[in-house]
Structure 1
């Protein structure tokens, strides 16, 4: 894939991105011979339509340990013994001790288990021991340690009860090499009267002499709590809610992992749909996502068994979601529970308690600090109300048994919210007429979720490009290309699939005054706990594990070049295999292109003006993927300054390109 212009005054690489090594990109190289007839596009100033400005966003839900063990910063697994069968998952004894999950000494009414550490008999009178004993936690298949020779500050805390006063040694250690990447002594004073809270910070680094061992550990690191065996005056100590945080995004307490959050931030998403899709529903009614159990001090959040069959700590709760939105300048799209779980559906006539619960949640988010729930928000550290412009009512009733009763439940919830908050835009969770009220509710938006193979997703270009303005405004809350030859297997995003997503997104963008929002899903996954693939970003505890998919780069290219106006384009060819959309904002024009075919194509573009610009391109063989620790398909970026308003873009098969002209 390459680019030429009629009069290039300068033509240089942008540092930090890896361009495809194509000699035709060099100034003065001959124009390649192309077989297909060139396509001419003229971007017109008049006509077209305004856009919502919100089209490209993200959807997040707790799955594949995307939150716990993922974007949420806390690194220790099973730290609150939550869920149905926690046991001693991730814990290990160190020295002559016995570990047990203790239900007789709960930390709080919400955290009903703690870790009991039973010590071997103390040395006899007059004897001493230099042995250290204690326990470790191995995190989510290891604990990530930054490969930095300079100090990185980690935060750690725990609650302790037992007859011990003295120093506790806290370490971050390589399980294979024994390298101590960070350690500190914490002086504690405990007794059996109550649990006491202790916290400290310590520096973590990989010194040069540790480098080899660091890679041998391959992410298999553990957090250790140790004390001198001969200094323990009792024979049992209990620990509750152990925590370990690396640096967090914007230094927020109980915040997001800085390294993962910055990868998401680079997408510049316009909105966040929260708290996800399936995860709000619950495996049964009792295990639905309950907003009031995700707020306040962590020791008072009971957690639950999540829909993806592992415990959810809910440490990434409602306030943390809202802080995430503010920190990344995203509009929140809040989902409220609509009475449907995977284990049962509440009839419309029995919904009253849940309607009250929704109003309580909205008062918590939107009410003044003088209201009961607004004052609770203020007590939890947030005095001014949040901003909630969109609320979605439930999730996927059309897919999971709720269709027959959704219309009545939707109407109840819509009327309840709209009466109290008439300025909030409400969203139905599907687009199936069989599941929706007749006649339609005025002003309601509609959400549509789908996953397709490449050909079928690209074919949806026509659906959205021609979506009628009389059919209601739409959010595509989840979409993406999946490998339906093995839908339950583990596979990776690939070039053809990402190109299909680009074609589909071009259809969305051309009509984005009606198709207001769209989000690829899922967002992130931990490679060690994959139940759904592919996702935009993958990672685990190993060094250099971050793996942005080919789809991630396409999403970033489209989202970071967002216009506020869609321009008509005069063309010499119809859509297919090349697709395009032209937009502008106050500073630049953008032309997004996708070549959904094998043949090389030439696109000649005329903009209303000429100036400085960039060409960003994603190119690779049709089936090429970015796989864990092996990111080979990345965009190229070229800067240029031209005096002509005519540009020529050469596209290989399956290429995606964004041409920006100031």
Structure 2
């Protein structure tokens, strides 16, 4: 066992040193050994000293993903606002998924009549002779369509000889109830596709099993056919953005107060093959010019949520963008050296698109796409998990190729390496490069990592690019976050925040899931096609509490005992003080807190039984906020087992 002086070595001016010495002097054990005593824990928060905390500490990571070949739908069918599934027939696996005939018609995917060079097929609606009523087709969305009572935007492309009325409806799939009924007059020819746009009002329904119908006067088409392509239906979008995010799902995320967004993944950027990687230049411009692609998980991404949409998302939520660029590694092949150079050039074209003056080729393209001013992007990650799937040996050279190209032209950008395995990193690693750690752990294992960063070199910055407590045990199955797991995440985050002079960023992952499809655990929150279905998890509340209550300086804390089962970190901004607490244990704990000079504030508390959490449509555990006043700056906090709390006073 190390001596006490060695245990605290290497922390220098870090607050970790002050807390470590406090624990040692109090006779405490190491941070992963828990004190089972229920004697009150006394904490005195110093008003001065400590170390600077990263302003970007808590963010979110977005990944278009599935697990076990089953979709989660985080982008298409998720936070992206367009609610019709398979609307452009992109990819190779969906066929007529989500489509159905309405009336006496035959429908099929028609590759002979592409809508554009990118959208390479359309829906042919064939009308038999003798039809006299309105006929057409339906789209059932992603296990239904939300009908919120708001005004919806709709568009579609059409080819074929038809002049007259198109009827659009939103209809209950089982009830037959009509929640929207709208007519528009169109004139279409068989020489080319024409786009039609309209808006219509809806009537609210709490049910999600609804479908969208497009019908037309069959008597005018009998014995012939019409083609329709790239149909789009948008409920209200976040900040009213065209081709934007679904407002209710995005607003729920905005309330977490994330400081940055890591995008577009994750594995999403890599590709099953080199040619199916995420290509920035096929995700920009009009949606009709975006081909989409078969994703890494064998279902198509439309890429309607593209590079600019991610960046507008960041701007609208006041998040710093963290953009990943392709590093040469796909699941099918890995390119390095001269073979990587054309892709380095492609990355530099992407940089010009982000930062270039409108007089440059790609800067002009950005302006044409609606953004005249350069995008503000200060964080670039090179690849994703390049220490895995065969990427280790070549990553040092691949990293250096991309690093040099980007850093030489844009020295203001902070570069992030895609992992923290030093055997797969350049040696030496260029100054100011951040390493990216990904951790999915069982609860006790997260708590064991509480002091992971206490003795790390203070000159090596870290991002925890993915983390979350997973429960996949046979007796409990794949389940949503529960209090023990979310409490362990809080313990780990307290450890990160204590060391947020070097831990610059952290992202819980994955972000969201659609209830209608098998899920990965964990996620922050979920939803389905019912408009009031959004359900937070207990981990959502932990992330919201931590991200919304963080100072810019981490403060020393003098304690009467060592860490465990109670864990803590204190910070301040100006005269506002924050103390985060977690009780990772089965017994109630009393914490006596002294923050001299403070008088009033609030206490936020999240607590519940060890294996209980919030489940779809059923929020049983949520944050409880209590106002607090004490003229002497002394506070007594009673923490239930498996509880997380934040004291914010001034």
TM-superposed CA distance for 1:508, in Å, is 0.5
Alignment of 1:75-94 (within 5 A): 75-94=83-102
Look up the match of 1:133: 135
**Helix, strand or coil: the match of 1:356?**
helix
**Helix, strand or coil: the match of 2:407?**
helix
Q: Supply the distance in 1 between the matched residues of 2:493 and 2:431 (Cα, whole angstroms).
A: 27
Look up the match of 1:604: 592
Q: Determine if the alignment matches structure 1 residue 385 to structure 2 residue 374.
A: yes
Look up the match of 2:388: 399
**Helix, strand or coil: the match of 2:452?**
helix
Calculate the TM-score normalised by the size of structure 1.
0.90
Q: Supply the distance in 1 between the matched residues of 2:476 and 2:81 (Cα, whole angstroms).
A: 28
TM-superposed CA distance for 1:450, in Å, is 1.1
Select 1:435's aligned residue among 417, 424, 428. 424
**Mean alpha-carbon deviation: is it higher for 480-489 or for 84-93?**
480-489
Look up the match of 1:68: 76
Contact 2:128 2:223 survives alignment (8 Å): no
Q: Determine if the alignment matches structure 1 residue 109 to structure 2 residue 117.
A: yes
Alignment of 1:217-366 (within 5 A): 218-232=207-221, 235-366=224-355
Cα deviations by residue, 1:154-178 (Å, 9 ceiling, x for unpaired): 0100000001110010001101111
TM-superposed CA distance for 1:490, in Å, is 3.1
**Helix, strand or coil: the match of 2:629?**
strand
Look up the match of 1:616: 604
Contact 1:490 1:530 survives alignment (8 Å): no
TM-superposed CA distance for 1:400, in Å, is 2.1
**Helix, strand or coil: the match of 1:469?**
coil
**Helix, strand or coil: the match of 1:345?**
coil
TM-superposed CA distance for 1:441, in Å, is 1.8
Cα deviations by residue, 1:314-358 (Å, 9 ceiling, x for unpaired): 000000000000000000111000000111111223111001000
TM-superposed CA distance for 1:452, in Å, is 0.2
Q: Determine if the alignment matches structure 1 residue 546 to structure 2 residue 546.
A: no
Contact 2:472 2:478 survives alignment (8 Å): no
TM-superposed CA distance for 1:526, in Å, is 0.9
Calculate the TM-score normalised by the size of structure 2.
0.92
**Helix, strand or coil: the match of 1:465?**
coil
TM-superposed CA distance for 1:363, in Å, is 0.4
Cα deviations by residue, 1:574-633 (Å, 9 ceiling, x for unpaired): 011100000011241000000011111110000022222000000100000111111111
**Mean alpha-carbon deviation: is it higher for 632-641 or for 286-295?**
632-641
**Mean alpha-carbon deviation: is it higher for 377-386 or for 476-485?**
476-485
Q: Supply the distance in 2 between the matched residues of 1:587 and 1:35 (Cα, whole angstroms).
A: 33
TM-superposed CA distance for 1:265, in Å, is 0.1
Q: Determine if the alignment matches structure 1 residue 583 to structure 2 residue 581.
A: no
Contact 2:596 2:632 survives alignment (8 Å): no
**Helix, strand or coil: the match of 1:267?**
coil
Change in Cα spacing, 1:336 to 1:136, as seen in structure 2 (3 Å) is same
Q: Supply the distance in 1 between the matched residues of 2:575 and 2:111 (Cα, whole angstroms).
A: 62
Q: Supply the distance in 1 between the matched residues of 2:497 and 2:547 (Cα, whole angstroms).
A: 11
Contact 2:93 2:298 survives alignment (8 Å): no
Q: Supply the distance in 2 between the matched residues of 1:481 and 1:443 (Cα, whole angstroms).
A: 29
Select 2:561's aligned residue among 553, 573, 589. 573
Look up the match of 2:481: 493
Q: Supply the distance in 1 between the matched residues of 2:388 and 2:46 (Cα, whole angstroms).
A: 42
Q: Supply the distance in 2 between the matched residues of 1:486 and 1:387 (Cα, whole angstroms).
A: 46
Look up the match of 2:175: 177
Q: Supply the distance in 2 between the matched residues of 1:135 and 1:50 (Cα, whole angstroms).
A: 59
Look up the match of 1:200: 198
Look up the match of 1:165: 163
Contact 2:93 2:299 survives alignment (8 Å): no
Contact 1:579 1:594 survives alignment (8 Å): yes
Q: Determine if the alignment matches structure 1 residue 525 to structure 2 residue 483.
A: no
Q: Supply the distance in 2 between the matched residues of 1:649 and 1:431 (Cα, whole angstroms).
A: 38
Change in Cα spacing, 1:469 to 1:560, as seen in structure 2 (3 Å) is same
Change in Cα spacing, 1:252 to 1:487, as seen in structure 2 (3 Å) is farther
Q: Supply the distance in 2 between the matched residues of 1:487 and 1:355 (Cα, whole angstroms).
A: 48
Q: Supply the distance in 2 between the matched residues of 1:35 and 1:336 (Cα, whole angstroms).
A: 50
Contact 1:164 1:234 survives alignment (8 Å): no
4+ runs deviating over 6 angstroms: none
* Count of residue pairs brought into register by the alignment: 609
TM-superposed CA distance for 1:46, in Å, is 2.4
Select 1:59's aligned residue among 58, 61, 74. 61
Q: Supply the distance in 2 between the matched residues of 1:417 and 1:582 (Cα, whole angstroms).
A: 37
Q: Supply the distance in 2 between the matched residues of 1:408 and 1:529 (Cα, whole angstroms).
A: 40
Contact 2:96 2:109 survives alignment (8 Å): yes
Contact 2:129 2:223 survives alignment (8 Å): no
Runs of 5+ consecutive residues of structure 2 not aligned to the other structure = 1-35, 66-71
**Mean alpha-carbon deviation: is it higher for 636-645 or for 598-607?**
636-645
TM-superposed CA distance for 1:399, in Å, is 2.5
Q: Supply the distance in 1 between the matched residues of 2:73 and 2:229 (Cα, whole angstroms).
A: 22
Select 2:548's aligned residue among 550, 560, 566. 560
Cα deviations by residue, 1:282-327 (Å, 9 ceiling, x for unpaired): 1111110000000000010000011222110000000000000000
Q: Determine if the alignment matches structure 1 residue 412 to structure 2 residue 372.
A: no
Q: Supply the distance in 2 between the matched residues of 1:229 and 1:44 (Cα, whole angstroms).
A: 78
Contact 1:488 1:531 survives alignment (8 Å): no
Q: Cα RMSD over matched residues?
A: 1.5
Change in Cα spacing, 1:401 to 1:485, as seen in structure 2 (3 Å) is farther
Contact 2:596 2:634 survives alignment (8 Å): no
**Helix, strand or coil: the match of 2:449?**
helix
**Helix, strand or coil: the match of 1:501?**
helix
TM-superposed CA distance for 1:485, in Å, is 2.3
**Helix, strand or coil: the match of 1:377?**
helix
Change in Cα spacing, 1:587 to 1:134, as seen in structure 2 (3 Å) is farther
Change in Cα spacing, 1:487 to 1:343, as seen in structure 2 (3 Å) is farther
Change in Cα spacing, 1:66 to 1:54, as seen in structure 2 (3 Å) is same
Contact 2:208 2:531 survives alignment (8 Å): yes
**Helix, strand or coil: the match of 1:529?**
coil
Q: Supply the distance in 2 between the matched residues of 1:187 and 1:122 (Cα, whole angstroms).
A: 23
TM-superposed CA distance for 1:252, in Å, is 0.3
Contact 2:84 2:140 survives alignment (8 Å): yes
Q: Supply the distance in 2 between the matched residues of 1:629 and 1:182 (Cα, whole angstroms).
A: 26
Contact 1:466 1:511 survives alignment (8 Å): no
**Helix, strand or coil: the match of 1:464?**
coil
Q: Supply the distance in 2 between the matched residues of 1:622 and 1:630 (Cα, whole angstroms).
A: 17
Look up the match of 1:16: none
TM-superposed CA distance for 1:35, in Å, is 7.3
Contact 2:81 2:245 survives alignment (8 Å): yes
Runs of 5+ consecutive residues of structure 1 not aligned to the other structure = 1-33, 124-128, 207-213
Contact 2:129 2:222 survives alignment (8 Å): no
